[in-house]
Structure 1
Amino acid sequence: MDALAILVSIIAAMAIGAMSPGPSFVLVSRIALSSSRAHGLASALGMGVGGFIFASLAVLGLTALLMQFEWLYLAFKIIGGGYLIYMAYRICRGASAPLDTGKSVRGSKEMTVYRAFFTGLITQLSNPKTSIFYASIFAAVLPADPAKWLLFAIPVSLFLVEAGWYTIVALAFSGFRMRALYSRLKKWLDYSAGTVMGFLGIKLIVEAFNRKI
């Protein structure tokens, strides 16, 4: 398999992974609904940067190093799960508040574009399983001595995949009709989003403890 075919196969696998529902989808869609299109796009960019970081770590082999030190990997999972649970708490806490485009998913704090970006970035980085997923795909597809340009192209391509997909999500959920629907059902949609986020955080922590046991 030549280098271009390898890159295409990696992009296809990563695109399927990015489109799978998870905390990133919940967060970007809610920011786009509750704040503005610009905030949603900023969070999508944060997701893309997070994907770029994970892909770079996997290419450099640092993910394999993380897997060798199992305690460190488990610690990352517990910290990541705790962060998702915290986000779930903040979302549910503000569920009863009226829709205000100046408020964030963190409750009463002002949601700026920069905050939306960093919230997306931290949410992406809070799940170390993403890095392991990347490393697994690379190990299965990359040859022992890949072309040098491929090692640079992979992180950039995965940034475009992650940022591109979540840009679509942000654009879809920031439309007038979606925001009007959200304003009517805000309380229940927020509770649902918080429940999903909290469940995923608990799942990460339980997996970490089960693996340790």
Structure 2
Amino acid sequence: MDGSVLSLLSVLGALAIGAISPGPSFVLVARTSIAVSRRAGLAAAFGMGIGGVVFATLALLGLHALLIQVGWLHLILKVAGGLYLVHLAVRIWQGAAEPIRVPDGTANSRGTLRSFGIGLTTQISNPKTAIVYASIFAALLPASPPTWILLALPPAVFLVETGWYAIVAVAFSAGRPRAVYLRSKAWIDRLAATVIGALGIRLVMDVAKPG
């Protein structure tokens, strides 16, 4: 497989794992789907996807320019990205047994446009999401990625983010799938933590290898 294609798939895979790991965005979409409607949950999912595109575009513009001019910065960011992913994996593992608390009651907003706005704002205002994007892009993209990767990443990120949160919206707007997921949360979190931690360790070890 071509190295550029592998880099793209690695980035998307890492972002998918990060999106799947429950966090504030997950809880927001789940809550909206349960308390308002499936349509409102899907609107929030769309907002998450647009927020992901914003992060992807900013990360590409900023990191791409820096890494071309300062080669050693790529190594530093790669180590930092690996260490952050290990830290994230530990946090996810520690919280695996904690139940997800979805607020009860009726949401204030009834419109899909407002649900979209809340989803977008939640995604953009989450500093951890910005760090994850910057870390993954710096760690897994080549220092000088081809133009087609720069053009393909934002829409691909949109599909990953929106696709996952749309699944969440559909699942949590129905009773049985919601119950099944909540029963399996500990195993899903631990699996995600294992994968993320292994990726982080591999990144650090690759930089430490001589030559």
Equivalence for 1:9? 10
Count of aligned residue pairs for this structure pair: 143
Equivalence for 2:31? 30
- 1:116-166 per-residue CA deviation (whole Å, 9 max, x = no partner) reads 101111111111221121111111121121110101111111111110000
CA distance in 2, matches of 1:21, 1:110: 23
Equivalence for 2:44? 43
1:40-119 aligned within 5 A: 40-61=41-62, 95=104, 103-104=106-107, 109-119=108-118
Equivalence for 1:20? 21
- Contact conserved, 1:58 with 1:64, CA < 8 A, in 2? no
Secondary structure of residue in 1 paired with 2:17: helix
- Contact conserved, 1:46 with 1:121, CA < 8 A, in 2? yes
1:62 Cα offset (Å): 6.7
Amino acid at match of 1:58: A
Equivalence for 1:171? 170
- Aligned Cα root-mean-square deviation (Å): 2.4
Task: Give the TM-score, by structure 2 length.
Answer: 0.62
Q: What percent identity do the matched residue pairs reach? A: 55
Task: Give the TM-score, by structure 1 length.
Answer: 0.61
Q: Given the alignment of the two structures, is residue 142 of structure 1 paired with residue 141 of structure 2, yes or no?
A: yes
Unaligned residue ranges in structure 2 (runs of 5+): 67-101, 180-211
Equivalence for 2:94? none
CA 45–117 in structure 1, closer or farther in 2 if over 3 Å, else same: same
Equivalence for 2:123? 124
Amino acid at match of 1:149: W
Equivalence for 1:76? none
Secondary structure of residue in 2 paired with 1:145: coil
Question: Structure 1 stretches (4+) deviating beyond 2 angstroms?
Answer: 62-65, 176-179
CA distance in 1, matches of 2:112, 2:121: 14
CA 177–150 in structure 1, closer or farther in 2 if over 3 Å, else same: same
